[in-house]
Structure 1
Amino acid sequence: MDGLILLPGQGRTLVTKAQDITFKATHAAGSSVSIFEVVVPPGFDVGAHFHEQSEEFFYILDGELDLLAFEPVDRTVERWQDWKSPTGQTVVRAGAGSSMFVPTGCPHAFTNPTNTPTRMLFQAYPSPDHERYFEELSDIFSAGQTVDSSAVQRMRDRYDVHQITPLRYGPAPSDEPQNLEHR
């Protein structure tokens, strides 16, 4: 089997109301890890969630995201941005060159709190679950002017996405971090 080389801008791209996702390495190409380039728009918040069977890796290429990857003392259901771990870890404001590894079962989240898009490389193991997830998400987001939140939740349930706080997208509330560590 041959390898795969993609130059900038190459790969199959899904454009949704929430994110642009370009498939870089897929199950169909023989990869056991799904790799995507994702553009996260201002205000997008994936919501805190965990996976029972998947591991994920995020690498910020351009821009900033607020990141969380720990079990909090208290899993509040409305906002993850105020969570703290038993060791005092809090949400981190991360810029280009920052990464986040998420082992199976670990609560995690990211949001773009700025007014500019953020570009990240995202890897999910095993493939092809996240590939199918993004394809179905694109279909749901493209179905009309409004997004059917119950359809999104049913889809997330099928793909091992155990939501803790809500998925949100819309204008960024502020470009200023609120009591967040900047790395």
Structure 2
Amino acid sequence: MAMSEGLIVPPGGGRKIVTKAQEVTFKVTGDHSRTGSLFEVVVPPGFDVGAHVHTRSEEIFYVLEGELDLLAFEPDERSPQDWRSWRAADGSAPARAGAGSCMFVPAGCPHAFTNPHDTPARMLFLSAPPPDHERYFEELLEILGTGVPDEAAVAHLREKYDIQQITPLRYDARRTQ
């Protein structure tokens, strides 16, 4: 597709990757846009992406269905185990976000999301610039689709795609089946 042509993606459209751990539908990719990638992500119960930082990319998360716990600030202290207890000097704390909530994450800002409920949540995810997050999601879902994630493989993947992991990625494979 030429970059001067628009794109209309119908409901249910896009390139979908489904594993036991997660479901991602690529709506707009680096093949379509020089400025951003847009995905629809189903976040399974118990999934926690872990707090992390990107030095080069910005992200926007928009909750479509369900609730997620979200983090987008620099804490007083980056404890390596659980970001949900983090607090910032200004009193900021992770927030419970329902449908219609939006989170913007500039480059260099620690951020995370988790689904603390027993039902899946859905979010729209915009990442700029493309295509690093597209490739990262493709490779991560391949790793997570095998059952218990290979922590070394996830660590290598995150290093490859400019992701400094602060707290671990977690998910309960029993809750995603």
TM-score category by the smaller chain?
Answer: over 0.9
| Paired letter, 1:83 | W
Residue 85 of structure 2 corresponds to residue 88 of structure 1: no
* Candidates 31, 48, 53, aligned match of 2:56: 53
Contact 1:42 1:114 in 2 (8 A): yes
CA–CA distance in structure 2, aligned partners of residues 130 and 145 of structure 1:
22
Give the corresponding residue for 2:43: 40
Contact 1:44 1:172 in 2 (8 A): no
Give the corresponding residue for 2:29: 26
CA–CA distance in structure 2, aligned partners of residues 46 and 78 of structure 1:
12
Query: TM-score under structure 2 normalisation?
Result: 0.93
Give the corresponding residue for 1:140: 143
| Paired letter, 2:141 | S
CA–CA distance in structure 1, aligned partners of residues 153 and 48 of structure 2:
18
- Superposed structure 1 runs of 4+ greater than 6 Å apart: none
* Candidates 147, 158, 161, aligned match of 1:159: 161
Q: Tell me how many residue pairs correspond in the alignment.
A: 172
**Offset at residue 22 of structure 1 (A):** 0.2
**Offset at residue 170 of structure 1 (A):** 1.3
Contact 1:73 1:86 in 2 (8 A): yes
| Paired letter, 2:8 | I
CA RMSD of aligned residues (A): 1.6
Query: TM-score under structure 1 normalisation?
Result: 0.90
* Candidates 108, 111, 123, aligned match of 2:111: 108
Contact 2:147 2:173 in 1 (8 A): no
Return 5+ residue gaps in structure 1 as ranges: 174-183
Return 5+ residue gaps in structure 2 as ranges: none
Give the corresponding residue for 2:133: 130
Contact 1:43 1:170 in 2 (8 A): yes
Deviations 1:112-159 (A, max 9, x none): 0011100000000000000110111122223x3432111111001100
